[in-house]
Amino acid sequence: MPRFTRAELESFRDAEVPDLLPGPGGPPLRLLFVGINPGLWTAATQTHFAHPVNRFYPALLRAGIITEPVDPSAGMTEAERDHLRARGVGITNLVRRATAKASELTRAELRAGGEQLVRTVAEQRPAVVAVAGITAYRTAFGRPKAMPGRQPEDLAGAELWVVPNPSGLNAHETVQSLAEAYAAPARAAGIELAPVS
């Protein structure tokens, strides 16, 4: 695992991380996970949810959404990206610019990110969208009373879910609780969940 100094990480502030989406002629996009925005470690490695204490990939594995462990902290390999694509999973963010904490984002940025997400979903046509973070979702879409889980409205034709954020800062969630929360939209998206040993 790489070790970044605080100064090295700070140099990635406002950097962007490309979406993980299917290529032309590849497997269809079934489930699009939406993070809030890249953290500095994510920007440094150009890999979504890359911070060593982030529980995203362990939760995907525990849920059976992916079948092989992924260690993104040094940057994801192309084979690992292809595994996610082959399972019908994509990843994007509400806001593209990297910050040390999501709380640094403005309401206007989150609202603009929600509008951009609608365009991305209309273009990519996933079966299900899962936004990881209820507070960011409420702000981005002007839904102050939204609750986690399946949302009553679709998003650009996709079934819409709000799931817990896997950040280590979200301390009351565990890998197991995240796995259960992520398995529900994956099933709705038609992803065949692998048995977990």
- pLDDT digit string (tens) for 133-188? 999 999 999 999 999 999 999 999 999 999 999 998 787 899 999 999 999 999 99
Q: Which class for 136: exposed (0-12), middle (13-18), buried (19 or more C-beta within 10 A)?
A: buried
Q: Given a cut of 90, is residue 40 above it in pLDDT?
A: yes
Closest to 178 in 3D by CA, of 28, 53, 75: 53
Q: Does the domain made of 6-188 have the CATH classification 2.40.340.10?
A: no
- The tokens for 61 are 């594995």
Confidence tier at 4 by pLDDT (50, 70, 90): confident
- pLDDT digit string (tens) for 105-128? 999 999 999 999 999 999 999 999
Domain chopping of the chain, boundaries: 6-188
Stretch 34-60: mean pLDDT: 95
Q: Given a cut of 80, is residue 196 above it in pLDDT?
A: no
Q: What is the pTM for the complete model shown?
A: 0.96
Q: Given a cut of 80, is residue 197 above it in pLDDT?
A: no
- The overall longest dimension of the chain from CA atoms, in Å, is 44
How many residues are listed for the chain in this entry?
197
Strand order in the sheet with 89-93: 89-93, 31-35, 128-132, 159-163, 149-150
Residue 138: per-residue pLDDT: 98
Residue 147: per-residue pLDDT: 97
- pLDDT digit string (tens) for 60-100? 999 999 999 998 988 999 999 999 999 999 999 999 999 99
* Residues 6 or more apart in contact with residue 73 via CB below 8 angstroms: 1, 2, 41, 45, 50, 51, 52
What are residue 137's phi and psi, to 5 degrees?
-60, -50
Residue 59: per-residue pLDDT: 97
Residue 1: per-residue pLDDT: 66
